[in-house]
Amino acid sequence: MIGTWQALVIDCDDPDELAGFYERLLGMVRIDNDPDWVSIGEAPDRPAIAFQAVTPYVPPQWPGHVHPQQAHIDVRVKDLDLAETEVLALGATATGEGTKTFRVYLDPQQHPFCLVSW
């Protein structure tokens, strides 16, 4: 092993807004809170999801590769229908794509993420 996982970093326009969305979605807390960099996690000594401001920000497009998604988060849930209602209330957008075990959404800055259930 060369190192340990520190963070998944997501480029965005507004780190505060996007971190708030994922805080509520995943039940995490803020670890760092600067204007151009916000990270959330379970605790300061655990891996984090970080959001960094980039200018100009070009959001990914789903589906497609002109502005590729580059990465996305899968969120395991017990009930897809209930979780969908909750993420839409947080500001997510349903793409209408998915199967019986997963559904694809866009966060408030157009990054795709999936709700998955087994």
- Whether 1-57 and 60-118 share one fold: the answer is no
Q: What is the pLDDT of residue 4?
A: 77
The enclosing H or E element of 48 equals strand 48-53
Domain limits of the chain?
1-57, 60-118
Q: What is the pLDDT of residue 33?
A: 96
Q: What is the rounded CA–CA span in Å between residue 117 and residue 69?
A: 22
Q: What is the pLDDT of residue 28?
A: 96
**Angle at 41 (CA atoms; ends 118, 24), nearest 5 degrees:** 65
The enclosing H or E element of 37 equals strand 37-41
Q: What is the pLDDT of residue 69?
A: 73
- Over residues 25-45, the pLDDT tens digits come to 999 999 999 999 999 999 988
Q: What is the pLDDT of residue 70?
A: 75
Q: What is the pLDDT of residue 65?
A: 78
Both tokens assigned to 74? 């899968």
Q: Is 60-118 in CATH node 3.10.20.90?
A: no
Q: What is the rounded CA–CA span in Å between residue 19 and residue 39?
A: 7
Q: Is 1-57 in CATH node 3.60.15.10?
A: no
Q: What is the pLDDT of residue 85?
A: 96
- Over residues 55-97, the pLDDT tens digits come to 999 999 888 778 777 788 989 899 999 999 999 999 999 999 9
pLDDT at 2 over 80: no
